[in-house]
Structure 1
Amino acid sequence: MSEMQNINRNEILENAKTESELSDLKQHADKMIRGFESFNNFSSNRAVWELVQNACDLTTECEVVLDYKDGFSFTHNGKPFTTKSFISLIKQVSGKYGEETNIPEVGKYGTGFLTTHTFGRKFRINSTLEANNTFFEIKDFLIDRSPKEWKTLSENIRTQKENVYELIQKGAILANPEIKTTFTFLPETDQERNYIAESSKDLEDYIPIVLTINDRLKKVKIVLNDSETSFERIKKIKVENDKGIELYKTTISKNGTNKIIYSIIETDDQIEVILPINENLELFQFSERIARLFLYYPLIGSEDFGLNFVINCNKFLPTEPRDGIHLKSNKDQVKEQEEANRKIIEKASQLIFEFLKSNLLNVSNPLLYAQINFQRNTNNSLLNEYFESLQKVWIEEYKFLPIVETSDGFKPVNQVYFFDEELLNNTEFFYDIYTLVSTFYNNIPIKEKIVLWSKFASEWTNEKTKGKADFIGHKDLVEKISKEHLSKFDKYCLINYYKYLIIEEKINYFSEHTLLPNLDGKLCFLSLLLTPKNLNGTLIEIGKSLIPDSIERIIHKDFCFEFHFDKFNRKDFSNSVKTKLDEMQASTGIYFPETINEQIYNVQSFDKTQKLNANFFESLLKYCKLNNNVNSQSKPSSLVKIISKYYSFGENLIQLSNIENQEENLDIRSSRKILVQIFFNLIQYHNENWVKENINLLLEIANCNEDSLKEVYLASKIYPNQINQLKSISELKRDLEIIPEIKGLYNKVAKNEIRKELVYIEFNEFVAEDRFVTSKYLTTEIEDIFFGTDINNINEHPFKVEILNIIKSLREKKYAELFPRLDDKKANVMLEVVTNENTKDDIFSIVTLGESDLKKLGKLVQEKNFSAILNAATILLQQQRETEADFHHKYEIGTYIEKLIREKLSKELQNRVSFGDNETETTNIQGGQDIVIFLDKNPVYFIEVKSRWNSQNSVSMSKLQLQRAVEENRRYALCTVDITRYPGKNDRYKLSTDEILPLTKFVTNIGDTIKPLIEDNLEAEKHQEKSIHLIEYRGIIPQDIIQRGNDFKSFIEILFTIITEKT
């Protein structure tokens, strides 16, 4: 009975103990299950760092291995488990190592470690358990937290505790244990395997940061995809500077390659900011998946904190899931934590601002500093409010920093324009838009950085921070474009930008702004433009001068897009030209060449006449030369060619083929009529000399008349009368072969220039047939005037000469018929002339000539050029008398020289010097000289004698005389007898020696003056077969040179000296 009672008590006791323990473990199991239910990707990413944190709590020289081969295992070199820490791990509670440790703990096997179960709720531990300096081997110790119900999970916890006790009782003891702990997780679901994969993604970005800010962690190895990546912290040194900045440079090795990380530290508040600067002093952008806040390790979930800096502070007070820090809420429980965290953020911000202002590290691309975008649009209004104020603080500091790289260097943010998002929506058009914007703005970020700058700047700004940055949008750009000309832009950039506007359905800009270019590049409103139809380049160019207002409305061919424009065809072109010509009253104007030859115009007549612009007239002419047949011989085409030639323009017609729709073809007739009128308006101002020289041209013009031009021809003064004045055709009469002498006689007698009324005979056909004048008509008028005065009293008649001349011609039948009344009275008139006292002696001299001479004289008188024959005979007689006088002068001068020289010479010399008839020549001998003096029969002096008969001319020397003057310079003289200076009344052709001598001058050494003029030719004549030379020329000797010559007496002395020197 007592034994039975003992057995029951033991069972009850054991059951009671078990129930009590399970009840105690329930809270641990429930906590685990609740934690498992809240797992997400952040949990898996956090899990790795919880393992690293726990490892670093166990050593100051921590080295870890993250092995993703066949699942996931984590190995570290921290100190072994204690019984307390091992049991705490099993129960998932805090397991501090006790106060005996010198290593400050950061983590523990508490709620944070629970996140490692995202890799698998089962894991094995291989490590060492240390108790009382005894080391027990922990081998493949299984932790199984897979149950989803608390009771089963609690039973597992109890069992795992028992296994620890059993390990202590029965486990192997290690004498020299390897200090290493490995957690090997055993994933059983796809989700767990996904969590493992997710945790590996950002390790290579995180590990260098963690190595930098955590002094305990020394090495990290990652085994992934059959490769190993090793990280090691090599050194961390302070960068000395005079800016008061605690700047550090940490060297991290990755598989033997060093990477530099710069950071700034605030020691008192344990703040360290990782800067986005690499070893080349280039900024980089932290990945969007990298947490921006660290508490030794990344606070996974703070990736969108809004900065391109990583802030680590060991005093951060994180949220329970360690996904951020407490900053602003209405929870009293965390207010103190929030305030503490805000102060840390404020100090970290100031730390960054001071660094940036110091420019301690001169980076090449400071753009990436500018990523400032705190979350201000969440559902948490209090947090939004806080971040709004923080954003404002950062922007106020940043806007003065010269960190925006522009084409003009780095500029402060507040001096720079950025692109509105609407300019960046389509990357296809980015280059074109940037090119256009940079045309107007030089204070924009460079092309490579403007997209990111604009993104950052737009993140700076919202409704509450408006005005912090200036943005350029479509409206700004089109307003700038609309004020310019197409030539300012790259055409293709502008086209692409307009395509973008159309894609973005911003068509209204084209109607509201002058954006579309016309043919000349002027930007216009969409609604004002036209599209050309069947207008070629030639027509367009012509239209630019003739109808610029219309041509200005034609859209540039590259900017039509798919807009609808009204058409502008050839018919519209013609109508516009005609309207323009009418508006400006072009038919009343003239066009004359810019370089006027005033000698061919009556220029004074231009003053009151409208003058057409050169470009306008040339374009009008080209317009009228347009023709479907460039070989057209029509009268209008011929006239247009004449006009072109007159103005020295090309005469060829310009090809313009007709189009099928005849109604839309050009009709240039009305414009051509105006062109002809303009031309005729100028023609009429030509003076008589031009008309005389251009009768054939005027005839060509007259022959081009046709129906379409008859009004212009009828009204224009383009027809020449016979005194070369231009008249309208209605002012002129035909000349029916009027005898020229009759016209002249009529003009003199009637005192009326009949040729004013007469057109040139070649133009008769253009004058009405009933308008004509004949010789008979004029002679009748002449006779009426002659007989209006007593014809019988011929010697007193005012037209005596004219009447007598007519009477001479009356022997010809035609003159007898033209002057019948004079023919009837000629005998009476001639009888009156013969008995005239003034002429009867002259007449008697003539009639007393021999019969033969009288007949000769009669025939000569009948010659039409009798007066010219008489004048020629008079001139010939004069020349003969002058020639005879010249020989007389030469003879007298030669004789006188001989007389004077002989008087001075001794008898012996007189015999040697020759002045006889054989030696002294007065004809053209010895190379053209007139007088030659010989000594011992050798010439010693040459004298050329010239007579001057006319005061208007000086004396001249022939080519041979000039050459001899040069060759015989020292023994040659030019002697001139200036008869024009003879004051006497005797016959100047028969002057005596005494009268000749005072008129005589001798120019000696004249060869000196002549030589420079002919010496080159003299040399050339020596080589006539090779050299160009002159064969005929004369020299004019100015009177000034002659008058400076010697008189007769002086010359005799000079000549005497020369002769005596030769002896």
Structure 2
Amino acid sequence: MDDLRAKAGDSPTASRRWVWELIQNAKDVAPADGIKIRISFEKDLDDFVKFEHNGKPFTADNIRFLIEQVSSKDRDKNEDGKRKNTGKFGTGFLTTHLLSGIVEVNGVAKEPELDYRKFKLILDRSGEELEEIIEAVNIAKVSVENLDVLDPYKEYLEDEFNTSFLYFLNNELNIRIAENGMRDLESCLPYAMSFVEEIDSIKIVESNKTYKRKKFHVANDNLIEFIEVYSESDKITIAKLTSGFTNIAIPVKIDGETISIIEIDNNIPKLFCDFPLIGSEVFPFPVVINNPNFNPTDPRDGVFLNNATIKKVEENKEIVGEALSLYYQLLKYASSNKWDNLHLLAKIKSLYGNAPEWLSEPWYNENLLKPIRKELLHAEIVVTADGETRAMLQEDGRKLLWFPYSNKKEIRDKIWEIANFWFPYVLPRKSEIELWYKLIWDDCGKLTLDQLSDFIQQRENLEKLQEVLKEKDAVEWLNVFYEVLQLDEKEFHTIIDKKLLVPNQNGILVKKSKLSHQKGAIEDIFKDILEDFGNEIRDNLVEESIELDFESSIDQSFIIKEIVSEINEKANNREVAKKHRGAFNKILAYFRQYPEKSKNLFPSIYRNRHLLYDDDEIANNFDKAEQLDDLLSNFNVTSADELRSLLEAGKSTSTGILPITEDILVSMGITSVEEWTKALEDKNLEQLYAHNPVPSTDMFVFAQSHIKRARQNVIDHLESLENYDLEHMEEIATTVLAGIKKEDREISIVFRPAYNGEVIIYYGSERDILDYEESELWVDTGDEVKKITLGHILKSAAINKFPI
């Protein structure tokens, strides 16, 4: 009593035991059809707890042992191997005196061959000195010495509440202890009634609830027994598996054909010896284990599972081994039948040095934790983001599932969000991120920022990354990843500087430290020229849309300086220059296309551009000069200007050759040498165009590229318009597109580049198409794509009249 009183205020278990000791005692005297129990808890008025049952009458020994506080129970096993009684030590009833030092017992005594006798007994344990206790025991003995001379109890009915224990609550501590016990009763009652067949019903007067049970199976499967413990206002269903006297149990919810596992409350003991062993909540097992043959500790807060080599410990370990086999059966059954909340079967954890005295942590690790986790890795218990249920490991041991992992919830959520664009089929569903974060262990796939970075690095380039992201733009996705990475500053610097995670302008993933930021616009031709010289500048520049800060930057002036340096170094050596002819040709082409800009950007190189030509080009130019001299002689003029004026005046030679510029070719839609030759034979060309002749062998490439460019720009523009349908479009001539539908009418489109501000209709096919009503003329000016109407032609050409 001293020990109990000392613990009463602080012990998390002592104040909860009293109700189970009373129920256990009642169970041990249950009649054949089961014990009925009624519990009254009154506070704020008389402040008492009254426990009643309809159990068998007291024997004289029962009364004597109750007074002397020694056990009258036999822990021997019956013929089936089950312990006859649950109690053992005789001290359990003492815990009820935490409610009150004085208890009033009312009951009926009965001995064979004798009549029923009704009695009242006061048990006083309020004394704190040995002499006080002895005196109280003697008084109690004297109070029942006249039991045999009492009048027989003629009104005895077996089904009535003939036995009662009345405790008056004298202080706040007593009331709190009563509340703790009653609260524990409602939590653990469904399990106790699932395990103890001797309990018929328990009524709680204050809440007006009478708890009963019914059993059933589902789907004609006898492996699992379902016990529904219900009252007038609530119910809970327990799924139970049994092997011999060993049971495992877990709460479930059944809705039609769907069975969902319910989480076991943290205050539910994991070990039952028919009744809860208060304090065994610390035993980290996924389900509740029961066996009436458990050998519990003295305070009944657990069972001996330590390293002692004694029979009781070995018996306990054997029972837990049976429970482990039942757990495997439950795991297999529940996963194969797609129960909901399967993750709750993985709720097992390391003890981290916090094992109770009765439990050996090494034994627990080797015999429970490791085997269960090994089984869990291959069980299909994880519902993934794509709605499937999968195992954590593949058969060959490779990780199949990846769980977002970080010490920050925000980062865990963000990891899931970005990874869901990539591999939803290996992620847990979003609602279970936190559940699995608390459950997983080192053998599971932990999707940390570092691990996600490894997955990105393995893709090598943007193209491969885009393949797995499908609907999400790879660069946008990377920018979000960098944002998540920066939520953990330490991880950011460790990962971003170590792994290949940032794309350069060639789309290759490299280390951030290897890249520079592009400052302002840089013309692609300059990057091409520099790369032709062997300086892979795009490898050193970050992809332009990446949103990261860089220590260094490169602008166009830097690129131009590099080009100038390369030219100065290589142009003076003719042999070296030959190896870089591609770069020289590109810079020369740029000079021809943009002479004024080139003078400003490359003043010295532009002035000495003749040094960029190779010997063959120089020789070719000499040939052209000689041919020009011949032309001047043939036309009897002394300069190119005189020859130009002569041709413009229409005074050409009998060959009828009219020099054509690139712009004219583009305007006319001419894209081949054959078309040029044919056009030159057309005498009307002299009347169509007045121009300065610029003969060049490159003009056809120029013309063709611009026509292709105009074609694509016109198509892109038409596809952006709602009333044009290009699904069945076909090209029937160089500049004519047919099969286009406009507002369900089939039309033809003539397209032309108009980069020099004008269009010449040369092809007969074009004139024929435009002669039809269902046709349109579209041009690409370089700045915009637009349709040319008759009104536009009349206005721009200042046509006031025309023949019909």
**What TM-score, normalized to structure 1?**
0.48
Counterparts of 1:143-158 in structure 2 under 5 Å? 143-158=123-138
Kept after mapping to 2: 8 A contact 1:291/1:303: yes
**Shift in CA distance, 326/587, structure 1 to aligned 2, threshold 3 Å:** closer
CA distance in 2, matches of 1:617, 1:440: 50
CA distance in 2, matches of 1:616, 1:137: 119
SS at match of 1:289: coil
Q: Are residue 669 (structure 1) and residue 600 (structure 2) matched? A: yes
Note the residue ranges of structure 1 that are not aligned, 5 or more in a row: 1-31, 462-467, 589-606, 625-635, 644-667, 687-716, 727-742, 764-1031, 1034-1063
- 1:434 deviates by 2.0
Q: Are residue 273 (structure 1) and residue 259 (structure 2) matched? A: no
CA distance in 1, matches of 2:556, 2:429: 48
Partner of 1:309: 287
Kept after mapping to 1: 8 A contact 2:404/2:446: no
- 1:522 deviates by 5.6
Q: Decide which of 510, 514, 517 is 1:528's aligned counterpart.
A: 514
Q: Are residue 400 (structure 1) and residue 373 (structure 2) matched? A: no
**Shift in CA distance, 566/109, structure 1 to aligned 2, threshold 3 Å:** closer
CA distance in 1, matches of 2:589, 2:107: 105
**Shift in CA distance, 367/97, structure 1 to aligned 2, threshold 3 Å:** closer
Partner of 2:551: 566
Q: Deviations over 1:419-463 (max 9, x none)?
A: 8999231111222212444536844444433543454331xx5xx
CA distance in 2, matches of 1:544, 1:72: 92
Query: Which letter maps to 2:268?
Result: I
**Shift in CA distance, 135/557, structure 1 to aligned 2, threshold 3 Å:** farther
Partner of 1:338: 313
**Shift in CA distance, 176/432, structure 1 to aligned 2, threshold 3 Å:** same
Q: Deviations over 1:561-608 (max 9, x none)?
A: xx6x43537xx53132231354267998xxxxxxxxxxxxxxxxxx99
Counterparts of 1:293-442 in structure 2 under 5 Å? 293-330=271-308, 335-357=310-332, 361-373=337-349, 375=351, 377-378=353-354, 383-390=360-367, 391-406=369-384, 407=386, 409-415=388-394, 417=399, 423-437=405-419, 439=422, 442=425
CA distance in 1, matches of 2:488, 2:196: 54
CA distance in 2, matches of 1:321, 1:313: 17
Partner of 1:212: 194
Kept after mapping to 2: 8 A contact 1:420/1:473: no
Q: Deviations over 1:56-77 (max 9, x none)?
A: 2222422323444315524232
- 1:214 deviates by 0.8
Counterparts of 1:572-587 in structure 2 under 5 Å? 572-580=555-563, 582-583=565-566
CA distance in 1, matches of 2:568, 2:425: 51
CA distance in 1, matches of 2:402, 2:177: 40
Counterparts of 1:187-226 in structure 2 under 5 Å? 187-222=169-204
**Shift in CA distance, 584/329, structure 1 to aligned 2, threshold 3 Å:** same
**Shift in CA distance, 91/620, structure 1 to aligned 2, threshold 3 Å:** farther
Aligned-residue Cα RMSD (Å) equals: 5.0
CA distance in 2, matches of 1:78, 1:154: 31
Query: Which letter maps to 2:485?
Result: Y
- Pick which of 41-50 and 171-180 moved more: 171-180
Query: Which letter maps to 1:434?
Result: W
SS at match of 2:225: strand
Partner of 1:285: 263
Q: Are residue 49 (structure 1) and residue 28 (structure 2) matched? A: no
Query: Which letter maps to 1:63?
Result: K
- Pick which of 478-487 and 308-317 moved more: 478-487
Counterparts of 1:72-221 in structure 2 under 5 Å? 73-79=49-55, 80-95=57-72, 104-107=84-87, 110-128=90-108, 132-136=114-118, 138=120, 142-165=122-145, 175=155, 178-221=160-203
Q: Decide which of 30, 35, 38 is 1:65's aligned counterpart.
A: 38
Q: Deviations over 1:874-924 (max 9, x none)?
A: xxxxxxxxxxxxxxxxxxxxxxxxxxxxxxxxxxxxxxxxxxxxxxxxxxx
SS at match of 2:13: helix
Kept after mapping to 1: 8 A contact 2:229/2:236: yes
**What TM-score, normalized to structure 2?**
0.62
CA distance in 1, matches of 2:358, 2:195: 33
SS at match of 1:477: helix
- 1:121 deviates by 2.6
- 1:619 deviates by 9.6
Q: Deviations over 1:290-346 (max 9, x none)?
A: 11111111112222322221111122111221111122323x5xx101111111122
- Pick which of 375-384 and 521-530 moved more: 375-384
Kept after mapping to 1: 8 A contact 2:39/2:204: yes
Q: Decide which of 496, 500, 511 is 2:497's aligned counterpart.
A: 511
Query: Which letter maps to 1:73?
Result: V
Note the residue ranges of structure 2 that are not aligned, 5 or more in a row: 466-472, 531-535, 572-577, 646-802
Counterparts of 1:656-735 in structure 2 under 5 Å? 669-671=600-602
Q: Are residue 549 (structure 1) and residue 533 (structure 2) matched? A: no
Q: Decide which of 223, 237, 241 is 1:264's aligned counterpart.
A: 241
SS at match of 1:507: helix
CA distance in 2, matches of 1:65, 1:542: 94
Kept after mapping to 1: 8 A contact 2:392/2:401: no
Q: Deviations over 1:190-244 (max 9, x none)?
A: 44443333334443331111111111112223356xx4443211x22456857xx
CA distance in 1, matches of 2:150, 2:590: 118
SS at match of 1:264: strand
CA distance in 2, matches of 1:454, 1:510: 25
Query: Which letter maps to 1:51?
Result: L
- Pick which of 89-98 and 425-434 moved more: 89-98
Kept after mapping to 2: 8 A contact 1:621/1:675: no
CA distance in 1, matches of 2:588, 2:68: 108
| Higher relative contact order (Cα pairs below 8 Å, separated by 6+ residues) | 2
User: Whose radius of gyration is greater, 1 or 2?
Assistant: 1
Query: Which letter maps to 1:527?
Result: S
CA distance in 2, matches of 1:679, 1:278: 89
SS at match of 1:50: helix
SS at match of 2:38: strand
Query: Which letter maps to 2:97?
Result: H
CA distance in 2, matches of 1:620, 1:206: 90
Kept after mapping to 1: 8 A contact 2:516/2:540: no
CA distance in 2, matches of 1:274, 1:255: 23
- 1:349 deviates by 1.7
- 1:276 deviates by 4.4
Query: Which letter maps to 2:42?
Result: K
Partner of 1:232: 212
Kept after mapping to 2: 8 A contact 1:546/1:619: no
CA distance in 2, matches of 1:723, 1:98: 126
**Shift in CA distance, 98/43, structure 1 to aligned 2, threshold 3 Å:** closer
Query: Which letter maps to 1:111?
Result: T
Query: Which letter maps to 1:372?
Result: I
SS at match of 1:303: helix
**Shift in CA distance, 609/364, structure 1 to aligned 2, threshold 3 Å:** closer
SS at match of 1:367: helix
CA distance in 2, matches of 1:202, 1:540: 77
Counterparts of 1:658-1057 in structure 2 under 5 Å? 669-671=600-602, 755-756=638-639
Partner of 2:477: 490
SS at match of 2:289: strand
**Shift in CA distance, 551/412, structure 1 to aligned 2, threshold 3 Å:** closer
CA distance in 2, matches of 1:216, 1:616: 100
Query: Which letter maps to 1:507?
Result: H
State the identity as a percent: 22
**Shift in CA distance, 133/431, structure 1 to aligned 2, threshold 3 Å:** same
